[in-house]
């Protein structure tokens, strides 16, 4: 199946991004396709390359970048939410792109399922 994922919260403060990542990984292992991961509200903070978490803990941003690279997953950050929160092209981590809310709606239309991870 084609699965869409919506991540509504930023890294570390909420478990949403972690759970979404584990879900995506498990879905790929089962042979499903991740149609798109869309980041909204504070979820846009998952896209900054400036994070420096402690070495002995997971690197949430890099984990998403790596997954996207390995499996060709489209990681999209909402432009309006990003601008509000200071997430811009010049600080985007690898694999993320900034685009409009239409990409979220389109995910709902094209994917077989859309799962929302938030607070």
Partner 1 sequence: MNETTGGIDSQEETSGTVKKFMFVNRRAPYGTVYALEALEVVLISAAFDQDISMVFLDDGVYELVKGQHTKAIDVKNFSPAYRALEGYDIEKLYVDADSLAARGLTTDNLLVPVEVLSAAQMAELMAAQDVVIGF
Partner 2 sequence: MLHIVNKSPFERNALDSCLRFGRKGSSVLLIEDGVYAATRGNVAEPKIKAALDQMKIYALRPDLEARGMQDAVMAGIELVDYGGFVDLVTGHTTVQSWL
With binding defined as CB under 8 A, does residue 33 bind partner 2?
no
Own/partner contacts of 91-95, CB < 8 Å, gap of 24 or more, are 91/48, 91/49, 91/50, 92/47, 92/48, 92/49, 93/47, 93/48, 93/49, 93/61, 93/62, 93/64, 93/65, 94/49, 94/65, 94/68, 94/69, 95/64, 95/65, 95/66, 95/68, 95/69
Is residue 12 part of the annotated active site? The answer reads no
32 interacts with, out of partner 2, partner 1, none, CB within 5 to 8 A per kind = partner 2
With binding defined as CB under 8 A, does residue 105 bind partner 2?
no
For partner 2, the closer of residues 98 and 114 by Cβ is: 114
| Residues near partner 2 (CB under 8 A) | 1, 3, 8, 15-16, 19, 22-23, 25-27, 29-30, 32, 112-119
């Amino acid at each position: 199946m084609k699965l869409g994922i919506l991540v509504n919260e930023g890294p570390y403060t909420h478990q949403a991004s972690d759970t979404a990542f584990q879900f995506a990984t498990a879905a790929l292992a089962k042979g499903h396709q991740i149609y798109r991961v869309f980041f909204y509200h504070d979820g846009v903070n998952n896209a900054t390359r400036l994070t420096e978490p402690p070495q002995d803990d997971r690197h949430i941003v890099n984990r998403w970048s790596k997954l996207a690279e390995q499996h060709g997953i489209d990681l999209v950050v909402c432009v309006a939410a990003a601008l509000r929160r200071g997430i811009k092209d010049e600080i985007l981590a690898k694999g993320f792109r900034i685009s409009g809310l239409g990409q979220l709606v389109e995910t709902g239309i094209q994917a077989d399922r859309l799962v929302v991870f938030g607070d």
